Structure 1
Amino acid sequence: MSEHATDPIERAIAISDREFRELADFAPVMIWRAGVDKLCDWFNKPWLEYTGRAMEDELGNGWAEGVHPDDLERCLAIYVGAFDAREPFSMEYRLRRRDGEYRWMLDNGAPFYREGHFAGYFGSCTDVSAHRDAQRAQRILINELNHRVKNTLAVVQAMAIQSFREDQSVAHSLAVFESRLRALSAAHDLLVARAWEDVALRGVVEATVAPHDPNGSLVSLDGPPLMLSPEAAVSVAMALHELLTNAIKYGALSVAEGRVSLGWHYEPERHMVRLEWKESGGPAVEPPVQRGFGTRFIERVLAAQAGGTAAVTFHPDGVHCFFEASARARSMEPLDRLVDA
């Protein structure tokens, strides 16, 4: 039908059809049309530019050559089923882009009618790969958040059990529990600053020790640059908090002459770091009759959370402790990534 047709109605239809195609070619979506025989007879310019194929290649069932083989059967079943029922459809499938990459498309189709008679289907497609990636990332994030919340609650529960004991006053137990909560909060602040990515072991150690040794003269640190997972970082920080609290109250840091050495070395075959805490110069130490709640907290709870083992021993010259945690060697990152939060 030509726009030069003499009949006004025919001329209007011809002009409308031409203007629709021009408009469709400027639309921000990919548009297709199929006739009553289910075969596609037209695609707009965005579709052809996206697939990198000519109109004649896409006509009929040619467009199906670009659908991912794993999606084709499902795609055709939905298309044919909706077509036979004269119902709209919406489906997602992967379509090959002009560069060869398969991208997820959202395809919406609906029947159209002319003068009351079924004339075929119009459909539009949009690339939803980024949306699907975002949804997948959100699911991963939610699962990871659930995992971390459960781990944190397990630590808090263990802290409460270890802090509130029948042989201690409520006030003392509450003070101990609050101190541990503050330490746990400080450890989480460190992780938040790093967006819950792996953190530098030295940064965790220095941030935990600093409030108790602001001048850096009481606790000496020595060890290679390593990275800890968020879970291991929290456990290391909490273990050091327990050791520092005990050292300040009863151990080496309770006297001016006392000192602590904290060193660590990496065991690459196990992907583990072994931290060693040694006190010296403090009051003489006698092994306790029973393991204290702080010791049990380190050995039974925190080490398990860190994926390793721990042991606290009481030598005459001071408390010794080794603590293992999963770790990895630090890669060569940009300097701004290595600054400890």
Structure 2
Amino acid sequence: MSPYDRAPTSDHEFRELADFAPVMIWRAGTDKRCDWFNQPWLDYTGRSMAEEVGEGWADGVHPDDLQRCLATYIGAFDAREPFSMEYRLRRRDGEYCWMLDNGAPFYRDGHFAGYWGSCIDVTAHREAQRTQRIIISELNHRVKNTLAVVQAMAIQSFRGQRPVEESLAQFESRLCALAGAHDLLVARAWEEVALRGIVEATVAPHDPGGSLVSMQGPPLMLRSEPAVSVAMALHELLTNAIKYGALSVPGGTVRLTWSHVPARHAVRLEWKESGGPPVEPPVQRGFGTRFIERVLAAHAGGTAAITFAADGVHCVFEAEARSGAEISFPPHVDQA
């Protein structure tokens, strides 16, 4: 028989094998006290065998987990049942890490002889699970908010006596604007986006040459929800300006400016049309006006107000924002 075909026959051989195991192993006698730990356990805790045996190992368990850990261990021990539990154990560098500890009774010659157990560090796994829960929660939140915006668009687009074809065209246009805003966020992995990038991307389809809408403001960053709201508000203002306002006639222009309001952690955007036909206040607020003032402003964590001045529509829109630099390249990087 090859020496590789037989199992270790001595306690020395077993301990030698256990010291090379990729897990932390412990043993307890019939008195519940641990009497041996393998080398990976001692290397992990940075303590000696003498310090760990008996009840010494419990010194490394996080104080908030100790009573639960002991209750599980003692309860399983008295019932002679396997157990599995998680607790935080102090690593040799002083940091507490989560361990998955599995223990089970063992017998010799039919008599209970104690417990064997093994531990693995599951800190990374627990962190991954926590991150996954956060992502799912955030996704649910964003989906609900997006559906609320779509619902508001649908209700307002198909309200009134307009022909179905006209209502459908308006709804589809607004959906495209919403999709465009989401595309920008996806490109940034749903992180903060530059306000100027949102403005330029929203205005570009309506002003390809860049001669109708002027824009000016400091570098500011927006979270996902305010970014969507700003894009949708600009889309509504542009659509109305093209149909009825300054951009419906030659020579009409729009001036879009924004400033940072540090006290409110917000951006203040100001939209002013000029050179268009005389403006008369509407008898009732249209979808775009209501959508901006009620839905989008609340969604952006800010406020909005639209004034139908005789010389052109004026809108002030506030949303949550923070000061920040636009994307830039180091001087030595070729930007071509």
TM-score of Structure 1 vs Structure 2, range by shorter chain: over 0.9
SS in structure 2 of the partner of residue 269 of structure 1:
helix
Q: 1:181 to 1:234 in 2, by over 3 A?
A: same
Whole-angstrom distance in 1 between the partners of 2:327 and 2:275: 39
Q: Distance in 1 between matches of 2:250 and 2:305?
A: 26
Q: Tell me the residue number matched to 1:260.
A: 254
Match of 2:149 among 124, 144, 155: 155
Q: Which runs of 5+ in 2 are unaligned?
A: 1-5, 331-336
Q: Which position in structure 2 is the counterpart of 1:138?
A: 132
SS of residue in 1 equivalent to 2:264:
coil
Larger deviation, residues 326-335 vs 218-227:
326-335
- Give the one of 249, 252, 274 matched to 2:243: 249
- Per the alignment, residue 291 of structure 1 pairs with 285
Show the counterpart of 1:4: none
Name the CA shift for 1:334/1:74 in 2 (closer, same or farther; >3 Å): farther
When residues 332 and 265 of structure 1 are mapped into structure 2, their CA distance, relative to the original with a 3 A threshold, is: closer
Q: How many Å apart are 1:88 and its aligned residue?
A: 0.2
Q: What is the correspondence of 1:65-84 to structure 2 with a 5 Å cutoff?
A: 65-84=59-78
Aligned to 1:40: 34
Q: Deviations over 1:297-322 (max 9, x none)?
A: 11111111111111111122211111
Distance 1:251 1:335 in 2: 39
Alignment correspondent of 2:334: none
Equivalent runs, 1:196-207 vs 2, <5 Å: 196-207=190-201
State the one-letter code of the partner of 2:217. Answer: G
User: Aligned Cα RMSD in Å?
Assistant: 1.6
Per the TM alignment, residue 256 of structure 1 is displaced from its structure 2 partner at its CA by: 2.5
Look up the SS of the partner of 2:321 in the other structure: strand
Q: Is the aligned partner of 1:170 residue 2:181?
A: no
CA contact 2:220–2:326 (8 Å) conserved in 1: no
Aligned AA (2:39): K
C-alpha distance in 2 between matches for 1:77 and 1:300? 55
Instruction: Name the SS for the 1:19 alignment partner.
Output: helix
Q: How does 1:300-319 map to 2 (within 5 A)?
A: 300-319=294-313
How far apart, CA to CA, are the structure 2 residues paired with 1:309 and 1:334?
Answer: 31
Separation (CA, whole Å) in 2 of partners of 1:18 and 1:194: 58
- The letter of the residue matching 1:109 is G
Q: How many Å separate the matches in 2 of 1:335 and 1:81?
A: 62
Q: Distance in 2 between matches of 1:27 and 1:205?
A: 59
Give, in whole Å, the separation in 1 of the partners of 2:248 and 2:326.
Answer: 40
Instruction: Answer with 17-26 or 274-283: which moved more.
Output: 17-26
Aligned residue type for 1:198: E
Q: SS at the partner of 1:49? A: helix
| Equivalent residues of 2:194, 2:326 under 8 A apart | no
TM-score normalised by the chain length of structure 1? 0.92
The answer as to 2:314 corresponding to 1:320 is yes
**Counterpart of 2:263 in 1: which secondary structure?**
coil
SS of structure 1 residue aligned to 2:200: helix
Deviations 1:212-251 (A, max 9, x none): 1122221111011111111100000000000011111111
Which region of structure 1 is more displaced relative to structure 2, 93-102 or 208-217?
208-217
Q: 1:173 to 1:136 in 2, by over 3 A?
A: same
* Count of aligned positions: 325
1:86 and 2:80 matched: yes
Asked if residue 28 in structure 1 is aligned to residue 40 in structure 2, the reply is: no
* Counterpart for residue 269 of structure 1: 263
Distance of 1:331 and 1:100 partners within structure 2: 39
Equivalent residue, structure 2, for 1:218: 212
C-alpha distance 198-43 of structure 1, shift in aligned 2 (>3 A): same
SS of equivalent to 2:206: coil
Distance 1:183 1:75 in 2: 55
Residue deviations 1:42-66 (CA, integer Å, cap 9, x gap): 1111100000001111011110000
Q: Distance in 2 between matches of 1:74 and 1:84?
A: 15
SS state at 1:308 partner: coil
Letter in 1 for 2:219: P
Secondary structure, counterpart of 2:101 in structure 1: strand
Match for 1:281: what amino acid?
G
Cα distance between partner residues in 2 of 1:331 and 1:224: 9
In the superposition, the TM-score normalised over structure 2's length comes to 0.93
1:287 is displaced (CA, Å) by 1.5
Alpha-carbon deviation of 1:13?
9.3
In structure 2, how many angstroms separate the alpha carbons of the residues matched to 1:132 and 1:256? 62
Aligned mates of 1:216, 1:166 — CA distance in 2: 35
2:256 equivalent to 1:232: no
Partner SS for 2:107: strand
